[in-house]
Structure 1
């Protein structure tokens, strides 16, 4: 009997820190994703008329073949290189296929440099029907920038791509082929599917160039990712393609708005049994990364742990949500 009493009190005492941690998660977390945006953030500028127009909604039916979402923070120097490569590919494809129509949405995540001005030069050249700029009043993180770009898109398929030009844009062909393998052309309604660009095939070579400490942190980060995502080796590559039905389901419901948003996005997709195809792409390092190696990895690791625990405790949910105008 004495042993059972000791066991009871041991379990009770052990549950106290767990309960306090759960309470901390509850008190420091909003149950609802942040879908709010200011009136200025709901509109885009047409330089030809000097007028601002309302962005469309992701809830609308698709009116274009492809939307390209480019989150950008202090990218006045790297953005032009990425845009030239992207536009060269898209314009060539448009000439070869008259049924192909695209748009690029550049989301300036509260930059303090001339990112918006540089982006508007492309709007002035190609027109606001093809390129639109969404400028945040203040920085809210890459996940927030990608979300708002997606919620304003018109494409049947939606691609997120980093502004640094690290990914070879023509590898979009590989991602589209992966989605084609999931989608059935005989069905009227498109299937849900995601194609994820991956650098996992480059991992062995990149480890050689890293210090032991950075390699240790990277391995630890990958172990944490496994708490949420099991079927994707490279969750952080900024080159992902979504069918519109997937975008409508996922982008209104995730909570994390900074670097670890990809992990939550893919976690929800796996929980909903949405097919995810991981595709090896060409990628190269580009100077000027906004990720601080140690600090950013620790921040992402913390966020990933919180993602798993907040869903485990029922603090967050990924139930369907209608887009709200707050």
Structure 2
């Protein structure tokens, strides 16, 4: 009897050891794959992406984020097939910015619409606004191929002139006057090491209401994503995905020049980079309304974001991605 029990214990130990060994091998394989498949930061531009059209139809070279600022505010709007939703947002944004400039003539701004390889008339719609307000105030950057929202925001940011740079979604889900709230959040961050700071618009205060309107499955996906963000990348920020973020020029250069992820999870990598560099971050409650026509496909987009979150952590952990500044072409 004793011998049988010892045999069973030995068998169980062997099984446990085998499982541990398999888990270790699987982990090593995942690390190797994450390292080997890691892409480097791609900051190169197609020749056509280096220029914007002036009001007279002439080509003019975009400036660089490395240059000193020449505007108080840059607004970068990523747009993919947004010919229908974008006019409402642009009307609200330009009306606010023009009124602010009338009240304070020293306030200067620019809006950069980044057409992320759209198949509709997004560029044509944006160019109408450029002709109306002038290319000095509203410029259009048309990407030759679709990069993803993160890639579009990065290209627009690297082409901006603002002392502070606002990332804003083309659907207008966040009311543009809430810019004042994120500005106050940015200004509240003192001290700002090397003038680097970020203020993130947040919908966390609306979460209870949104849960009540969501299906159980979508709520499960949402909380699962929040957990993965917290576990792998970013802590202390309740809503990493709100598309209304304000950067000082220095913080934008530091974070966007290191960005690798160009799809939905790019916000998480940006904030992960910021926290690694100890850039102070403020989270500010903003008004937000869900707008029909979202490009986010609930299951597959969440799945892609989950994969990207794990990849972010593993690739920085293995050294495949490094935190350093890169020069732009």
TM-score range, shorter chain: over 0.9
Deviation at 1:324, TM superposition (A): 2.8
* 2:179 pairs with 1:194: no
In structure 1, stretches of 5+ residues that fail to align are none
Q: Which residue of 2 aligns with 1:313?
A: 318
Distance 1:50 1:103 in 2: 18
Structure 1 residue corresponding to 2:24, chosen from 15, 18, 33: 15
- Paired residue secondary structure (1:69): strand
Residues 30-52 of structure 1: per-residue CA shift (max 9 Å, x gap): 2x211111010111011x32211
Query: 124-133 vs 5-14, which deviates more?
Result: 5-14
Q: 1:154 to 1:295 in 2, by over 3 A?
A: same
Q: Which residue of 1 aligns with 2:124?
A: 117
* 2:233 pairs with 1:228: yes
- Paired residue secondary structure (2:247): strand
Matched length: 317
Deviation at 1:15, TM superposition (A): 2.4
Write out aligned runs for 1:126-275 (5 A). Answer: 126-183=133-190, 191-226=195-230, 227-275=232-280
- Paired residue secondary structure (1:318): coil
TM-score, length-normalised on structure 1?
0.93
* 2:41 pairs with 1:36: no
- Equivalent residues of 2:189, 2:281 under 8 A apart: no
Q: Which residue of 1 aligns with 2:103?
A: 96
Query: 106-115 vs 302-311, which deviates more?
Result: 302-311
Q: Which residue of 2 aligns with 1:286?
A: 291
Distance 2:185 2:217 in 1: 36
Give the 4+ runs in structure 1 shifted more than 3 A: 5-14
- Paired residue secondary structure (1:258): coil
- Equivalent residues of 1:183, 1:191 under 8 A apart: no
- Equivalent residues of 1:190, 1:243 under 8 A apart: no
Deviation at 1:182, TM superposition (A): 1.9
Aligned CA RMSD, in angstroms, stands at 1.8
Deviation at 1:14, TM superposition (A): 3.6
Residues 94-125 of structure 1: per-residue CA shift (max 9 Å, x gap): 00111100000000000000000000000111
Distance 1:145 1:241 in 2: 16
Tell me which protein shows more helix as a share of its residues.
2
- Equivalent residues of 1:254, 1:318 under 8 A apart: no
TM-score, length-normalised on structure 2?
0.92
Distance 2:281 2:44 in 1: 29
Deviation at 1:309, TM superposition (A): 1.1
Q: 1:11 to 1:205 in 2, by over 3 A?
A: closer
Distance 2:23 2:132 in 1: 64
